[in-house]
Structure 1
Amino acid sequence: MSSEAFTRLTAPSDYAQLLEKYDTWLFDCDGVLWTGDRLIDGAKEVLGILRKHKKSVIFVTNNATKSRKNYKKKFDSLGIEAYVDEVFGSAYASAVYLSSVMKLPKDKKVYVIGQKGLEEELDEEGIAHIGGTDPADQVIGPFSLHDFEPDRSVGAVLCGLDTGINYRKLSKAFWYLTQNPDCQDCPFIVTNEDSTYPSEGGLLPGAGAISAPLRFAVGRDPIAVGKPAKTMLDCIKAKHDFDPKRTLMVGDRLNTDILFGQAGGLSTLLVLTGITRDGDITGPNASSIVPDYVTSSLGDLRVLGNP
């Protein structure tokens, strides 16, 4: 046991105890399994070891740019065994929230700030939508309400990561949230509130940075669906039966992955291959969010495959 508030895993016996203690393993993807399009060294082998020991493996990601089917393609391209029903992204959870929790009426639409993967998940749930990848919304330049013909059937605004964000999209979303006479108090939903996300070349602004201008302009907080919100865990529980006491959440972010696990009564393992650095969990400026376990990389668990 480490003298620190968490257990720092170093010895093969440390990892063996995890294998014995937990039956269900939840994994964040970006920063844990891969960075950009680069596989984290050893990640593939570790997942194989867990499956060999009959562990349940579930992938929980806040990335809303890809649908579950597209995520499956990414796993395939990296040579990682994965199945669509094991993937839970914030795009999918947002679509489920709109259809099953909010129960958006069938005659209503969602105005989307986001990319194709988000639209695909809305389509799967039978939710009509506008905006998103519509070419009319990709125009860069001035925006005037005099030229805007709003769709009065919009009943919610959903915002995810959008690498083509522009003033036109923000302006339309703002109008639907504040000025649509046919939707008073229009629901404002975000796939997640990550401030950044790890790319192969370094950190880039995340979905939370995309929705921040709207949040400031509208003057109210959105409903967040992705980690650390409980909505994501409810979505997983609806599809998989697991014992929280024998479940481990593996992630690279304290304020999303680790907080998500703690809020759901799960044990947590922090890896240092993504957002969080060692200095964030040690010393005078250490975060108040403390994981149960810490290891430098998921690849460290490869020792479990040694005879």
Structure 2
Amino acid sequence: MSSQPLSAHNFKQLFHSVEAFLFDCDGVIWKGDELIEGVSQTLQMLRSNGKKLVFVTNNSSKSRAQYALKFQSLGIPVSQDEIFSSSFAAAMYLKVNNFPPQNKVYVIGGEGILEELQLAGFTGVGGPGDANKTIDFKQNKFFEHDKSVGAVVVGLDPNINYYKLQYGTLCIRENPGCLFIATNRDSVGNMTSLQEWPGAGCMVAAICGSTQKEPIVVGKPSTFMMDFLLKKFNVSCSKMCMVGDRLDTDILFGQNAGCKTLLVFSGVTTQSALEDPSNNIQPDYYTSKISDILDLTEA
């Protein structure tokens, strides 16, 4: 089935059939620390029409509490309960799979993952604290690592280094049963408003290369976060619409769960990429940015 451009006619149908709108953040709500034009008014309009809003982000650099503060700083009132980040998903994956609390979790990633692990009752090690550590390649050097690490979580890490790669690799290869969890595999992301930067996918790929193992992915397009979301909001997937800027994460996530899907061109994906014959992921609808919804409501 091919995608339809969002129009006054089909948006009316979509609007009345949907109880909850799920939004990606980077490239949809903001780019870096800049709000995308018209976002605030659009979210306000949806709330005033009784729609539930949920923010589902693969960016693991912040915890839900830190994301709530970011929304607030941009003038958008969003509660922590409406935010589902891949940092939270990583902690929840360990919780629902009865990860032994006495085992540690080695983090290649940011403060957000460490904070969510702590809230879930787990001990995270590594993260930003290992940013400046180096390895001494002297002859017969033996690299010590903690044998009580039972999981390695890899997310976006602007301070990735050889020390972290070696530590994570040893834990996965040498600690019996050690889990390898990826917050997401996004290749690039809108870290600033001006250009795309390498995403968590390249950090995950480095560990895949050294361990020869594939990770458990907890962020989009995996439906792991959706299971939590459904319990919390009590809305069926058929009455949800996933709005995102990436085909291989946001739109696939919505489709895997049975949601309606809307692609916006304000982030990573262009219209020519959507229409490229090699692309086999087709959203239900597409439009340039989420504030187009406002114009269509008033049309």
Q: Which bin holds the TM-score, normalised by the shorter protein? A: over 0.9
TM-score by length of 2: 0.95
Higher deviation after alignment, 162-171 or 13-22: 13-22
- Find the aligned partners of 1:185 and 1:92 in 2 and give their Cα distance: 22
Query: What's the CA shift for 1:147?
Result: 5.6
Contact 1:62 1:89 in 2 (8 A): yes
**1:131 aligned partner, one-letter code:** G
Q: Does 1:46 align with 2:25?
A: no
Q: Deviations over 1:50-94 (max 9, x none)?
A: 000000100000010000000001100111121100000000011
Q: 2:104 corresponds to which residue?
A: 109
Q: 2:145 corresponds to which residue?
A: 150
**1:177 aligned partner, one-letter code:** I
Contact 2:149 2:171 in 1 (8 A): yes
Q: Does 1:281 align with 2:261?
A: no
Which of 240, 259, 262 is matched with 2:255 structurally?
Answer: 262
Contact 2:131 2:159 in 1 (8 A): no
**1:151 aligned partner, one-letter code:** D
Q: 1:8 corresponds to which residue?
A: 5
Q: Does 1:195 align with 2:187?
A: yes
Structure-to-structure mapping, 1:288-307, within 5 angstroms? 288-303=280-295, 306=298
Which of 51, 64, 67 is matched with 2:63 structurally?
Answer: 67
Identity of aligned residues (%): 42
- Find the aligned partners of 2:47 and 2:131 in 1 and give their Cα distance: 44
Query: What's the CA shift for 1:281?
Result: 1.6
Higher deviation after alignment, 142-151 or 297-306: 142-151
Contact 1:143 1:167 in 2 (8 A): no
Which of 89, 92, 95 is matched with 1:93 structurally?
Answer: 89
Contact 2:187 2:201 in 1 (8 A): yes
Contact 1:93 1:232 in 2 (8 A): yes
- Find the aligned partners of 2:3 and 2:121 in 1 and give their Cα distance: 44
Q: 1:138 corresponds to which residue?
A: 132
Structure-to-structure mapping, 1:194-233, within 5 angstroms? 194-199=186-191, 200-233=193-226
Aligned to 1:256, what secondary structure does the other structure show?
helix
**1:83 aligned partner, one-letter code:** S
Q: Does 1:240 align with 2:233?
A: yes
Which of 123, 129, 132 is matched with 2:118 structurally?
Answer: 123
Query: What's the CA shift for 1:37?
Result: 1.0
Please tell me the root mean square deviation across aligned C-alpha atoms, in Å: 1.7
Aligned to 1:202, what secondary structure does the other structure show?
coil
- Find the aligned partners of 2:156 and 2:42 in 1 and give their Cα distance: 29
Contact 2:221 2:248 in 1 (8 A): yes
- Find the aligned partners of 1:32 and 1:223 in 2 and give their Cα distance: 26
Contact 1:178 1:185 in 2 (8 A): no
Q: Does 1:79 align with 2:72?
A: no
Higher deviation after alignment, 212-221 or 58-67: 212-221
Q: Deviations over 1:260-290 (max 9, x none)?
A: 00000101000001111001121434x1000
Aligned to 1:45, what secondary structure does the other structure show?
helix
Which of 257, 265, 269 is matched with 1:272 structurally?
Answer: 265
Query: What's the CA shift for 1:253?
Result: 0.3
Q: Deviations over 1:159-192 (max 9, x none)?
A: 111100000000010111112xxx3242111111
- Find the aligned partners of 1:88 and 1:111 in 2 and give their Cα distance: 22
TM-score by length of 1: 0.92
For this pair of structures, how many residues does the alignment match?
297
Contact 1:143 1:171 in 2 (8 A): no
**1:121 aligned partner, one-letter code:** E
Contact 2:218 2:224 in 1 (8 A): yes
Query: What's the CA shift for 1:230?
Result: 1.3
Q: 2:164 corresponds to which residue?
A: 169
Q: 1:19 corresponds to which residue?
A: 15
Structure 1: which 5+ residue stretches go unaligned?
none
Structure 1 residue ranges, 4+ long, deviating more than 4 angstroms after superposition: 140-145
Contact 1:143 1:168 in 2 (8 A): no
